[in-house]
């Protein structure tokens, strides 16, 4: 059975989710209370509806509880975001993802039962900051408040040495999960693997250890 998705709020964030799902052939209902925005998505989404999602009757008439996953991408109007999420929850929507504007917004969303809360602006800001601080950091994915996975380029300081030579886990407390080399990917590399300059190392560990590794080893 095909999953049904709905996106509420067609700004840049909700709009790009909607476009990407459609491009992947996933049916998606696009909802916004701004008619102009809805019109822009009429040709992209499988359905585009102009509706105020803070109105329970409106949500019921859209049959929203039959959707597997609803994404609430209302940003600036926190009240509308919270009310919409609460109603979706009460109507029994299976999975709800909500974009949060700040930490307080996130707290409320979690209390009322949002399944996933995302902070796209904050997260992208963090990733870019890591990239700016160290040119060797390509990407940064937070696992928790204190742990991350990072994608870093091996400098010439590492190149030509084996993992065991560098004694990375013992020295820095981080693990190399995989090495990308050209089109190849080495998952769970052996301790005797020789790192080459320009390899992309995918590492996992505590943020403090990753930072130490970035500063000292690269």
Residues lying near ligand ATP in the complex (CB under 6 A) are found at: 8-14, 32-34, 37, 52-54, 73-77, 80, 163-164, 167-170, 175-176, 189, 191
Grouping H, G, I as helix, E, B as strand and the rest as coil, residue 168 is: helix
Other Cβ atoms closer than 10 A to 163: 20
Of 40, 104, 21, 30, which Cα lies nearest the Cα of 72?
A: 30
77 binds, among Ca ion, ligand ATP, none (CB under 5 to 8 A by kind): ligand ATP
What is the DSSP pairing of strand 69-72 with strand 137-142?
unpaired
Q: Which residues pair with 147 in a beta bridge?
A: 206
Other Cβ atoms closer than 10 A to 173: 14
28 binds, among Ca ion, ligand ATP, none (CB under 5 to 8 A by kind): none
- The Cα 211–Cα 191 span in angstroms is 22
| Span of 71-79, 122-130, 158-166, 204-212 interacting with Ca ion by CB under 5 A | 71-79
| Span of 36-44, 51-59, 67-75, 83-91 interacting with Ca ion by CB under 5 A | 67-75
**Residue least distant from ligand ATP (Cβ):** 11
| Span of 18-26, 75-83, 130-138, 202-210 interacting with Ca ion by CB under 5 A | 75-83
189 binds, among ligand ATP, Ca ion, none (CB under 5 to 8 A by kind): ligand ATP
Spell out the SS3 assignment of 137-165.
Answer: EEEEEECCCCEEEEEEECCCCCCCCEHHH
* Cβ 140 to ligand ATP shortest distance, Å: 18
13 binds, among Ca ion, ligand ATP, none (CB under 5 to 8 A by kind): ligand ATP
Q: Pick the binder of Ca ion from 9, 14, 15, 75 (CB under 5 A).
A: 75
Of 148, 139, 134, which Cα lies nearest the Cα of 217?
A: 134
Interface contacts to Ca ion, rule CB under 5 A: 75
């Amino acid at each position: 059975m095909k999953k049904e998705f709905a996106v509420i709020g067609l700004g840049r964030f909700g709009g790009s989710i909607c476009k990407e799902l459609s491009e992947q052939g996933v049916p998606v209902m696009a909802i916004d209370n701004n008619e102009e925005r809805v019109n822009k998505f009429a040709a992209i989404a499988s359905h585009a509806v102009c509706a105020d999602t803070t109105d329970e009757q409106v949500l019921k008439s859209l049959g929203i509880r039959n959707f597997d996953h609803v994404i609430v991408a209302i940003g600036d109007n926190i009240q509308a975001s919270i009310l919409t999420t609460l109603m979706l929850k009460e109507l029994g929507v299976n999975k709800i993802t909500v974009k949060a504007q700040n930490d307080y917004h996130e707290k409320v969303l979690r209390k009322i039962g949002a399944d996933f809360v995302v902070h796209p602006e904050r997260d992208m800001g963090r990733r870019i900051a890591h990239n700016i601080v160290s040119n060797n950091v390509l990407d940064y994915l937070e696992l928790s408040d204190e742990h991350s996975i990072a994608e870093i380029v091996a400098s010439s300081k590492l190149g030509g040495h084996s993992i065991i030579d560098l004694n990375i886990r013992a020295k820095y407390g981080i693990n190399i999960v995989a090495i990308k080399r050209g089109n190849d990917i080495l998952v769970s590399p052996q301790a005797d693997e020789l790192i080459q300059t320009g390899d992309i190392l995918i590492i996992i560990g505590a943020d403090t250890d990753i930072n130490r590794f970035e500063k000292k080893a690269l």
